Amino acid sequence: MNAGGDYGGDEPREKCGVVGVSLEDREAARPLYYALYALQHRGQESAGIVTHDGFQQHSHVERGLVGDAFEEGDLASLSGGTGIGHVRYPTAGSLDKSCAQPFSVSFKSGSLGLSHNGNLVNADEVREELAAAGHAFTSDGDTEVIAHDLARNLLEEDLVRAVKHTMNRIHGSYSLAITHDDTVLGVRDPLGNRPLCLGKIDGGYVIASESAAIDTLDGELIRDVRPGELVVLDPDGTGYDTYQLVERESTAHCFFEHVYFARPDSVIDESLVYEVRRKLGRKLWEESGVESDVVMPVPDSGRAFASGYADAAGETTADGEPRAADDGGVEFAEGLMKNRYVGRTFIMPTQDERERAVRLKLNPIRSTVEGKSVTIIDDSIVRGTTSTQLVELVREAGAEEVHLRIGAPPILAPCYFGIDMATREELIAADASTEEIRQEVGADSLSYLSIDAVADALGESRADLCLGCVTGEYPFDVEGEATDRDVDAPVSDPTPADD
């Protein structure tokens, strides 16, 4: 996990990561394996690879981290130059292995493998429709729903038409890596809610959730897959074709990818995540800077924010006036050290032990904070438990003042599109003001970044972002929730439609 706040279950959890490769003259399994390592931060529940050797499909899917899910013999058994991979943190479906991915199915028109990052909001409706038509399901996840719908369409249509009609039936967020026999496909939902990119590697091409996976394979990022676009990699690894299957007037890019989930070295929707976070940090200073002695990040995700905040503080005062030449501004310092060997599997059976998890994972550097006014930079506050404990830690280490600055707006509503973010009842900002939260966490001051600042840092309009978790209004038609736009939701139709 790349965010700093995974201490005691008080931060959003990752979605999933997908990858697909098509190679000219070498096996796909090992490049897929390396790419999954690069995407490990997006999911630690399970990992899997599906390959095709031109004659048959091969699959290996296991619970656990990438390094635990595969042994040398597993990779050797995954023959073929094309394939897809997946790392999963469950946001829809059970925790058991039946929901681990890639999902594989064989049918009259060949074999399918499917990896999904995102979450459908009409999965139950489509599942009931398919079940009534005779489809048997082995899991309660929405990925199998997509696979069955696509398999049904492939019985009657060519590959491109079949994908288009599945896209016209499912509703929600998705980036998909698909194998149809030895052909690898990449599909991004019409609003571009989930990231997906295309790259060139030695002897072939790759699609992946993040460009960091392409970098790991010594490849070159070509571009983002466009919202509503299908990318078809040539089975021999020599090229690719693209089809713009669905078009919308606006997008709904997930702003939280830049704030929290994605690796800082990834380029998503044409923006380097690290630079976006530095811009967000600069805007934090512009909007709510405080003249403290030290600014320090919560490792690791707060680091780029704090760097940008400190840079901006060196240029202007908190009042926005130019900084005097002999005034260095607010010092950037590492004041919290992270124990990287305490992971999700740490046993915390009681509330007291869960609270102790913060002390196991983070330890303050006393010389950085003792006798000083300190500003802590974090990416988000979810339940508030972690922030309370961090403020206590720093005070106990001798800080005279503790200010808290957050590189995102208040999270006041759940995410329905692939982020395990907690319910409204658990979200501290759902029914509490910033001042009430400040009192709850015990900080001397607390400020969040504004929504407009986030949009400005991303270089996008608010209308092209998914802001549901910070506004309570969503870009997809979620039952019982408000929308922020006219939503073009699909209607039930058990048979493929004409173009």
Catalytic residue positions? 16
Task: Answer whether 260's CB lies under 8 Å from 379's CB.
Answer: yes
Task: Answer whether 115's CB lies under 8 Å from 96's CB.
Answer: no
* DSSP tally for the chain: helices H, then strands E: 16, 26
What span, in angstroms and rounded, lies between the C-alpha atoms of 342 and 5?
A: 13
Task: Answer whether 1's CB lies under 8 Å from 14's CB.
Answer: yes
Q: Name the DSSP letter for residue 227.
A: T
Output phi, psi for 467, to 5 deg.
Answer: -120, 20
The token pair that represents 307 in the structure block: 């760097």
The token pair that represents 202 in the structure block: 């030695």
Map 157-224 to HEC letters: CCHHHHHHHHHCCCCEEEEEEEEECCEEEEEECCCCCCCCEEEEECCEEEEECCHHHHHHCCCEEEEE
Output phi, psi for 231, to 5 deg.
Answer: -115, 125
Task: Answer whether 257's CB lies under 8 Å from 237's CB.
Answer: no
Output phi, psi for 123, to 5 deg.
Answer: -60, -40
Task: Answer whether 57's CB lies under 8 Å from 51's CB.
Answer: yes
Burial 407-425 (b: 16+ CB within 10 A, else e): bbbbbbbbbbbbbbbbeee
The label of the residue with tokens 């995407």 reads 39
